[in-house]
Amino acid sequence: MTTDAKSSPRERLLEAAATLTYRDGVAIGVDALCKAAGVSKRSMYQLFESKDELLAASLEERASAYVATLLPEADDNRSPHERIMHVFDQLASQAGAPDFQGCRYLAVQIELKDQSHPASRVARQVKANLTGFLRAEAEQGGASDPDLLARQLMLVFDGASARAGIKADTPTGLLEPTVAVLLDAAGMR
């Protein structure tokens, strides 16, 4: 991992946390984080109350970029059906990258187990926001049960992400027909 000498210690720590936890998991040590960031432990603790807070801040900082890669533009004039399909097309595209290791927000929730952990709370909110988007689109598209459809779609999203992340399967060719069946069964237009 390379760090930009011009970036601040805070930015370098956030980048190191994002990179190392995505690659190695949340159990990464403070020493490794500080070494990768080129920052002393003392500086880290001056900037962040704890490693947990650093992890949460790193996830939060990347949330809007993550969402922007998945969601369509707000005013793109596509149908709710097409807008939902866009999310899954984006996932399939991301999953094809050689360094794809699944959804970092799902991985954090799975690894931490503790729902009160600051990073787990951030991850849960990001996933809740994605579920909210799917629910709103399902409602707009006339789904018979928008809440159920959103939950089903999240199950497919997380399952596809996890399986692609562990290189057990690739979602290409699987996601579109699977999501289409759910949308059709829900009466989406």
SS3 readout for 126-187: HHHHHHHHHHHHHHHCCCCCHHHHHHHHHHHHHHHHHHHHCCCCCCCCCHHHHHHHHHHHCC
Over residues 39-50, mean pLDDT: 96
CA distance 96 to 138: 27
pLDDT tops 70 at residue 5: no
pLDDT for 189: 82
What's the predicted TM-score (pTM) here? 0.91
> What confidence tens digit (pLDDT) does each residue in 94-113 have?
999 999 999 999 999 999 99
Domains and CATH numbers, the chain: 1-48 (1.10.10), 60-185 (1.10.357.10)
Q: How confident is the model at residue 75 (pLDDT cuts 50, 70, 90)?
A: confident
Amino acid at 182: L
Long-range contacts of 34-40 (CB under 8 A, 24+ apart): 36/1, 36/3, 37/3, 37/9, 37/12, 37/13, 38/3, 38/9, 38/12, 39/9, 39/12, 39/13
CA distance 141 to 149: 11
pLDDT tops 70 at residue 34: yes
- Stated length of the chain: 189
Over residues 37-55, mean pLDDT: 96
CA distance 9 to 57: 14
> What confidence tens digit (pLDDT) does each residue in 109-141 have?
999 999 999 999 999 999 999 999 999 999 999
pLDDT tops 70 at residue 32: yes
